[in-house]
Chain A
Amino acid sequence: MLKILDFFDYAKSESLWMAHFCTGCCSLEMAAAMGPRYDWERYGYLPTPTPRQADVLMITGLVSKKILPALLRTYAQMPEPKYVVAMGACSFDGGPYNDSLSVIKNPTEILPADVFIAGCPPKPEAIIEGLEQVKQKIKNGEPSAASQGGLWKEMEF
Chain B
Amino acid sequence: MESIKKLLEKFSCEYVEDYKKTWIKAKLNSKEDLLSLGEVLKTEGLRSLSTISPTDFLDADVMEVNYFFEDLDTKRNLWLKVDLPRDEESCEIESLTPLFPSAEWHEREAFSMFGVNFLHHPDLREIIKSEDFTGVYPFRKDFDWDAHEKNQVQNVQQIVDAFKKEQEENEVDLDPDSSETILNWGPTHPASGPIRLRVHCDGEEVISVDPDIGYVWRALEHLVTKKDFVGAIVAVERLCFMDNINSMTAYALAVEEIAGVEITPFAKWMRVLLGEVARVSSHFMGLGMFFNNMGLHTLAMWNMDTREFFLDFLESYSGARIATAAVEPGGVRYGLDMVMFDELQKALDKFDSSIGEVEAVFVKNPTMKMRAHNVGRLSGDEVHQFGLSGIVARASGVQTDIRIDEPYDAYSELDLEYITQERGSAQDRFMMLFAELKQSIEIIKKAKAHIEEKVASEEMNPTKDHMVKVPKKLPKGEAISRVEWARGEVLMHLVTEEKAKSPYRLKMRAPSFNHTMMLNYLLKGRTLSDIPLIFGSLYICQGDLDR
Contact = CB atoms under 8 A, between A and B. Distances in A.
B419 to A, nearest CB: 26
Contacts of B222: 100
B246 to A, nearest CB: 16
B132 interface: yes
B157 interface: yes
Residue from B217, B234, B302 with most neighbouring chain A CB atoms (10 Å) = B217
Contacts of B193: 22, 27
A68 B156 contact: yes
Q: How large is the interface on B (under 10, 10 to 19, 20 to 34, 35 or more residues)?
A: 35 or more
A105 to B, nearest CB: 9
B194 A97 contact: no
A28 interface: yes
A102 interface: yes
B55 to A, nearest CB: 20
Given A96-B234, A156-B157, A35 B308 contact: yes
B241 A99 contact: no
Interface in A16-65: 19-25, 27-29, 31-32, 34-37, 47, 49, 51, 62, 64-65
B242 interface: yes
Nearest to A23: B194
Interface in B260-310: 285, 300-302, 304-305, 307-308
B219 A102 contact: yes
Contact of A24 (B157, B159, B216, B302): B216
A25 B194 contact: no
A97 B242 CA distance: 18
Contact of A66 (B189, B217, B308): B217
A97 to B, nearest CB: 5
Nearest to A69: B160
B458 interface: no
Interface string B182-196: 000001111001100
A101 interface: yes
A76 interface: no
Contacts of B153: 151, 155
Contact of B159 (A51, A65, A101, A120): A65
Interface string B124-150: 000001111000001000000110110
A62 B304 contact: no
Contact of A64 (B131, B215, B241, B285): B215
A99 B130 CA distance: 17
A70 interface: yes
B364 interface: no
Contacts of A103: 218-219
A123 B333 CA distance: 21
Contacts of A47: 190
Given A25-B241, A103-B218, A155-B156, A36 B301 contact: yes
B424 interface: no
A28 B227 contact: no
A141 B142 CA distance: 53
Interface string B100-141: 000000000000000000000000000001111000001000
Contact of B130 (A27, A34, A97, A102): A102
A65 B152 CA distance: 9
B214 A66 contact: yes
Contacts of B194: 22-24, 67
A53 to B, nearest CB: 13
B351 to A, nearest CB: 15
Nearest to A94: B218
B531 interface: no
Contacts of B322: 28-29, 121
B223 interface: yes
Given A25-B543, A65-B130, A102 B217 contact: yes
A36 B190 contact: no
A47 B189 CA distance: 12
A99 B300 CA distance: 35
Interface of B: 129-132, 138, 145-146, 148-149, 152-153, 155-157, 159-160, 163, 187-190, 193-194, 214-220, 222-223, 226-227, 234-235, 238, 240-242, 285, 300-302, 304-305, 307-308, 311, 321-323, 543
Closest 6 CB pairs of A and B: A35-B304, A66-B130, A25-B241, A36-B305, A100-B223, A101-B145
Given A37-B304, A66-B131, A66-B214, 14 more contacts: A23-B194, A25-B238, A35-B300, A35-B305, A36-B302, A37-B308, A47-B190, A64-B215, A64-B216, A64-B217, A70-B187, A100-B218, A103-B219, A121-B322
13 contacts: A20-B190, A22-B194, A29-B321, A35-B307, A36-B302, A37-B305, A51-B188, A62-B216, A97-B223, A100-B218, A101-B145, A102-B219, A155-B156
